[in-house]
Amino acid sequence: MAVLTGKTVIVTGAAGGIGRAIAQEAGRAGARLALVDADAARLGETVKAIQSDGAEVLPWVVDMTDRVLWQKTIDDIAAHFGGIDVMVNNAMWVRYEPMAEVQEDVYRRQMAIGLDAVYWGIQAVTPHMIARGAGSVVNMTSPASVHGIPNGSVYAAVKGAISALTRQCAVELGQKGIRVNAVAPGPIPTPGTMRVVDEDGWKKRLVRSPLGRLSTPEGVARVVVFLASDAADCVNGDVVFADGGRSVSAM
């Protein structure tokens, strides 16, 4: 198991789904956790679950699309914990619809949380990691970053940008001791995806999985924690596909 003992880890979008699993796995790996989400009630449930495992954890309820507030939050987290070692950029809001029907508010919301908040978050966390002499950033991308998906034009644009930003930051920040990687999970039923994928959609996704099963939040979380930890100290600029081989299948 990867170790994060004594490391301060920010997980965004930690109120449920994959983010909650990442927070729980990082807590079990020994991390001190700063959990960020806009949903106060569900974030509180995550915090309770992690506290019962014995980990040190604090919630920050923030709308990360407010750049000034989000960057100040990162400074506040650093001041509270005395630094930041790891940032997991997981929060997202997704809608699938034909490109012809996409309205500007839906486009902007996906871009704002999926790309802008990641960009400004990395900008704000970098000085705190440089002060430590090291750091690790893990971004959540998607197979949609490299393959077209039905009605996913905005989502694909967001995730393609996240994969490109990951590689760029790996080169630019690597020189300062900061590793930047990404994880591309396969389809997983979560509060976010259950809103946009129907029963038939999940059946189709299952059929296309070479392992005959979907990925799980826990399985993805183990990959994220590995990349965040010193066990992955040679890995920088990589995108790990945690999709059970779905992306390499011609089925």
Choosing from 10, 18, 173, 224, the residue that interacts with ligand NAD (CB under 6 A) is 18
Tell whether residue 59 is a contact of ligand NAD (CB under 6 A): no
Strands, sheet with 178-185, edge to edge from the N-terminal-most edge strand: 57-61, 32-37, 8-12, 86-89, 135-140, 178-185, 239-242
Determine the Cα–Cα distance for residues 7 and 182; give it in Å rounded to an integer.
19
Q: Is 155 among the residues known to form the active site?
A: yes
Report the nearest approach of ligand NAD to the CB of residue 208 (Å): 13
Q: Which is nearer to ligand NAD, 84 or 156 (CB)?
A: 156
Report the nearest approach of ligand NAD to the CB of residue 90 (Å): 5
Helices then strands, counting H and E runs in the chain, come out as 9, 7
Tell whether residue 191 is a contact of ligand NAD (CB under 6 A): yes
Report the nearest approach of ligand NAD to the CB of residue 46 (Å): 9
Tell whether residue 115 is a contact of ligand NAD (CB under 6 A): no
For tokens 């997202």, what's the residue? Answer: 92
Site string for ligand NAD, 70-99 (x = CB under 6 A): --------------------xxxx------
Please say whether the beta carbons of 239 and 184 come within 8 A.
yes
Choosing from 8, 163, 166, 190, the residue that interacts with ligand NAD (CB under 6 A) is 190
Angle at 169 between CA 159 and CA 56, to 5 degrees: 85
Please say whether the beta carbons of 204 and 243 come within 8 A.
no
Tell whether residue 187 is a contact of ligand NAD (CB under 6 A): yes
Binding segment for ligand NAD (CB under 6 A), chosen from 32-40, 72-80, 126-134, 164-172, is 32-40
Residue ranges of alpha helices (H) inside 104-180 are: 104-111, 117-132, 153-174
- Encoded amino acid at 8, one letter: T
Tell whether residue 156 is a contact of ligand NAD (CB under 6 A): no
Report the nearest approach of ligand NAD to the CB of residue 193 (Å): 4
- Sign of the Cα pseudo-torsion (1, 22, 193, 165, in order): negative
Residues assigned a catalytic role: 155
Q: Which stretches of the chain bind ligand NAD, using CB under 6 A?
A: 13, 15-19, 37-39, 62-65, 90-93, 113, 140, 142, 185, 187-188, 190-193
